[in-house]
Amino acid sequence: MTDITNDLNQLLADHQVFYQKCRIYHWTVQGPLFFALHQKFEELYTEAALRVDELAERIVALGGRPIGTLAKQVSTSRLGEDGEARSAKAMVQNLIDDLEKLTLWLRETAADAGEANDSATLNMLEGFADANGKTMWMLRAFLAD
Protein backbone atom coordinates (compact mmCIF):
# COMPACT_ATOMS: atom_id res chain seq x y z
CA MET A 1 0.00 0.00 0.00
CA THR A 2 3.03 2.30 0.06
CA ASP A 3 2.38 3.45 -3.50
CA ILE A 4 -1.26 4.20 -2.65
CA THR A 5 -0.31 6.14 0.48
CA ASN A 6 2.24 8.10 -1.54
CA ASP A 7 -0.42 8.87 -4.14
CA LEU A 8 -2.88 9.84 -1.41
CA ASN A 9 -0.30 12.16 0.13
CA GLN A 10 0.10 13.78 -3.28
CA LEU A 11 -3.67 14.27 -3.46
CA LEU A 12 -3.68 15.58 0.11
CA ALA A 13 -1.14 18.25 -0.84
CA ASP A 14 -3.07 19.11 -4.00
CA HIS A 15 -6.31 19.50 -2.05
CA GLN A 16 -4.67 21.66 0.61
CA VAL A 17 -3.49 24.11 -2.04
CA PHE A 18 -6.94 24.05 -3.66
CA TYR A 19 -8.52 24.69 -0.25
CA GLN A 20 -6.31 27.72 0.36
CA LYS A 21 -6.96 29.06 -3.12
CA CYS A 22 -10.72 28.90 -2.47
CA ARG A 23 -10.17 30.71 0.85
CA ILE A 24 -8.18 33.56 -0.70
CA TYR A 25 -10.77 33.91 -3.46
CA HIS A 26 -13.53 33.96 -0.82
CA TRP A 27 -11.71 36.76 1.00
CA THR A 28 -10.78 38.84 -2.04
CA VAL A 29 -13.55 38.49 -4.63
CA GLN A 30 -14.96 41.87 -5.70
CA GLY A 31 -17.56 43.30 -8.00
CA PRO A 32 -21.17 42.60 -8.93
CA LEU A 33 -20.66 38.84 -8.58
CA PHE A 34 -19.45 39.20 -5.00
CA PHE A 35 -22.43 37.75 -3.15
CA ALA A 36 -22.81 34.67 -5.33
CA LEU A 37 -19.11 33.90 -5.49
CA HIS A 38 -18.33 34.70 -1.87
CA GLN A 39 -20.85 32.00 -0.90
CA LYS A 40 -19.74 29.55 -3.60
CA PHE A 41 -16.06 29.86 -2.67
CA GLU A 42 -17.01 29.14 0.95
CA GLU A 43 -18.86 26.00 -0.17
CA LEU A 44 -15.81 24.93 -2.16
CA TYR A 45 -13.30 25.43 0.65
CA THR A 46 -15.61 23.70 3.12
CA GLU A 47 -15.82 20.68 0.82
CA ALA A 48 -12.05 20.77 0.25
CA ALA A 49 -11.45 20.79 4.02
CA LEU A 50 -13.60 17.69 4.41
CA ARG A 51 -11.66 15.96 1.65
CA VAL A 52 -8.33 16.88 3.24
CA ASP A 53 -9.51 15.21 6.44
CA GLU A 54 -10.76 12.10 4.65
CA LEU A 55 -7.55 11.77 2.64
CA ALA A 56 -5.36 12.15 5.73
CA GLU A 57 -7.41 9.64 7.69
CA ARG A 58 -7.27 7.14 4.82
CA ILE A 59 -3.48 7.50 4.68
CA VAL A 60 -3.29 6.70 8.41
CA ALA A 61 -5.73 3.79 8.03
CA LEU A 62 -3.40 2.32 5.39
CA GLY A 63 -0.41 2.62 7.72
CA GLY A 64 1.03 5.79 6.23
CA ARG A 65 1.73 9.22 7.61
CA PRO A 66 0.04 12.26 6.07
CA ILE A 67 2.12 15.23 5.00
CA GLY A 68 1.63 17.53 7.97
CA THR A 69 3.36 20.81 7.26
CA LEU A 70 2.11 23.56 5.00
CA ALA A 71 5.56 24.04 3.51
CA LYS A 72 5.76 20.36 2.52
CA GLN A 73 2.20 20.41 1.18
CA VAL A 74 2.91 23.45 -1.01
CA SER A 75 6.19 22.02 -2.29
CA THR A 76 4.53 18.67 -3.02
CA SER A 77 1.37 19.98 -4.67
CA ARG A 78 1.04 19.93 -8.44
CA LEU A 79 -1.32 22.91 -8.22
CA GLY A 80 0.11 26.38 -8.03
CA GLU A 81 -0.72 28.83 -5.30
CA ASP A 82 -2.52 31.99 -6.34
CA GLY A 83 -2.07 35.21 -4.44
CA GLU A 84 -2.65 37.41 -7.47
CA ALA A 85 -5.46 39.92 -7.78
CA ARG A 86 -7.87 38.44 -10.31
CA SER A 87 -11.24 39.25 -11.73
CA ALA A 88 -14.11 37.21 -10.32
CA LYS A 89 -14.52 35.30 -13.58
CA ALA A 90 -10.78 34.58 -13.74
CA MET A 91 -11.01 33.13 -10.23
CA VAL A 92 -13.81 30.82 -11.33
CA GLN A 93 -11.90 29.74 -14.45
CA ASN A 94 -8.78 29.06 -12.37
CA LEU A 95 -10.80 26.82 -10.04
CA ILE A 96 -12.32 24.98 -13.02
CA ASP A 97 -8.80 24.38 -14.35
CA ASP A 98 -7.70 23.06 -10.95
CA LEU A 99 -10.77 20.84 -10.63
CA GLU A 100 -10.06 19.32 -14.05
CA LYS A 101 -6.55 18.42 -12.90
CA LEU A 102 -7.75 17.14 -9.53
CA THR A 103 -10.38 14.98 -11.22
CA LEU A 104 -7.80 13.42 -13.53
CA TRP A 105 -5.44 12.71 -10.62
CA LEU A 106 -8.27 11.34 -8.47
CA ARG A 107 -9.30 8.92 -11.22
CA GLU A 108 -5.70 7.82 -11.82
CA THR A 109 -5.21 7.07 -8.14
CA ALA A 110 -8.62 5.39 -7.95
CA ALA A 111 -7.56 3.08 -10.78
CA ASP A 112 -4.36 2.23 -8.87
CA ALA A 113 -6.43 1.54 -5.75
CA GLY A 114 -8.68 -0.75 -7.78
CA GLU A 115 -5.67 -2.69 -9.06
CA ALA A 116 -4.53 -3.04 -5.43
CA ASN A 117 -8.01 -4.32 -4.43
CA ASP A 118 -8.43 -1.32 -2.12
CA SER A 119 -12.14 -0.72 -2.61
CA ALA A 120 -12.43 1.80 0.24
CA THR A 121 -9.88 4.13 -1.36
CA LEU A 122 -11.31 3.50 -4.83
CA ASN A 123 -14.84 4.41 -3.71
CA MET A 124 -13.71 7.51 -1.82
CA LEU A 125 -11.72 8.87 -4.75
CA GLU A 126 -14.39 8.08 -7.34
CA GLY A 127 -16.91 9.92 -5.16
CA PHE A 128 -14.64 12.96 -5.05
CA ALA A 129 -14.13 12.85 -8.82
CA ASP A 130 -17.85 12.52 -9.51
CA ALA A 131 -18.62 15.48 -7.24
CA ASN A 132 -15.97 17.51 -9.07
CA GLY A 133 -17.77 16.82 -12.34
CA LYS A 134 -20.95 18.37 -11.01
CA THR A 135 -19.07 21.35 -9.56
CA MET A 136 -17.28 21.99 -12.85
CA TRP A 137 -20.59 21.87 -14.72
CA MET A 138 -22.06 24.47 -12.37
CA LEU A 139 -19.02 26.75 -12.55
CA ARG A 140 -18.96 26.52 -16.35
CA ALA A 141 -22.67 27.37 -16.44
CA PHE A 142 -21.92 30.39 -14.26
CA LEU A 143 -19.34 31.62 -16.79
CA ALA A 144 -21.53 31.01 -19.85
CA ASP A 145 -22.73 34.07 -21.71
Map out the domains of the chain as residue ranges: 2-143
Select from 39, 21, 38 the least CA-distant residue to 29. Answer: 38
Domain 2-143: which CATH class? Answer: mainly alpha
Measured CA to CA, the distance from residue 42 to residue 27 in angstroms comes to: 9
Model pLDDT for residues 102-142, shown as the tens digit of each residue? 999 999 999 999 999 999 999 999 999 999 999 999 999 99
Assign 116 to helix, strand or coil.
Answer: coil
Measured CA to CA, the distance from residue 16 to residue 33 in angstroms comes to: 25
Please determine, for residue 14, whether its predicted confidence score (pLDDT) is greater than 80: yes
